[in-house]
């Protein structure tokens, strides 16, 4: 089985690329979804986050207050590093377990979506890497449409490597400024070469 790692900047089209792969019958796991599962009420990671960052990051009902945590970690690189130390090993363990499960199901290809693929030095686990990218103007427009403030966009972008660096390191680049059909055609070409 071949395993592709898919990365890219925020708002650049990783979710749409994942959907196109799924439509072609390729199993996909998204590490953002794994991270959300890891911080559900009652999970050890959430308890550790609360211990490190304080009561204010957990709502009375036991849910993670993402906005409060984001305010802390995207203004303080040391705090972000502490959060990554809690989450990244657990996330990696989860997607590696998923890959092994897929191997047992005899899939020909699988995809793991990791926004920080290169930053977390995960590329050795993959046969090929794919970077999903678009222009800075399009990225900003998409993030503003999601309700992000310019300040939130700037802080979160500062936490990731520039997309140009990701593009340079990836085996394939999918450019998403065009229509969704063009995005899909690029995924199909990768599947044909795969």
What the block records as the tokens of 7 is 């990365």
Helices (H), 24-179: 31-38, 44-53, 66-73, 77-104, 136-145, 150-158, 163-169
- What CATH number does residue 136 fall under? 3.40.50.300
Q: How confident is the model over 50-63, as pLDDT tens digits?
A: 999 999 999 999 99
Report the number of distinct structural domains present in the chain: 1
Residue range of the domain that includes 79: 2-193
Place of tokens 């800075």: 136
pTM of the model: 0.91
* Bridge partners (DSSP) listed for residue 128: 4
CA distance 109 to 27: 7
Q: How confident is the model over 67-123, as pLDDT tens digits?
A: 999 999 988 999 999 999 999 999 999 999 999 999 999 999 999 999 999 999 999
């Amino acid at each position: 089985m071949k395993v592709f790692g898919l990365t890219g900047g925020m708002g650049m089209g990783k979710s749409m690329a994942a959907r196109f792969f799924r439509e072609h019958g390729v199993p996909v796991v998204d590490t953002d979804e794994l991270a959300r599962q890891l911080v559900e009420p009652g999970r050890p990671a959430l308890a550790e986050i609360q211990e490190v960052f304080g009561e204010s990051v957990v709502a009375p009902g036991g849910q993670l207050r993402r906005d409060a945590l984001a305010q802390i970690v995207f203004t303080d690189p040391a705090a972000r590093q502490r959060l990554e130390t809690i989450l990244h090993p657990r996330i990696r363990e989860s997607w590696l377990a998923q890959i092994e499960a897929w191997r047992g199901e005899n899939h020909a290809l699988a995809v793991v979506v990791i926004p920080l693929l290169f930053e977390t030095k995960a590329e050795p686990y993959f046969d090929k890497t794919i970077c999903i990218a678009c222009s800075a103007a399009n990225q900003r427009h998409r993030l503003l449409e999601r309700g992000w403030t310019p300040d939130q966009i700037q802080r979160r972008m500062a936490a990731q490597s520039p997309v140009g660096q990701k593009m340079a390191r990836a085996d394939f680049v999918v450019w998403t400024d065009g229509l969704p059909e063009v995005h899909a055609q690029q995924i199909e070409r990768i599947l044909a070469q795969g």
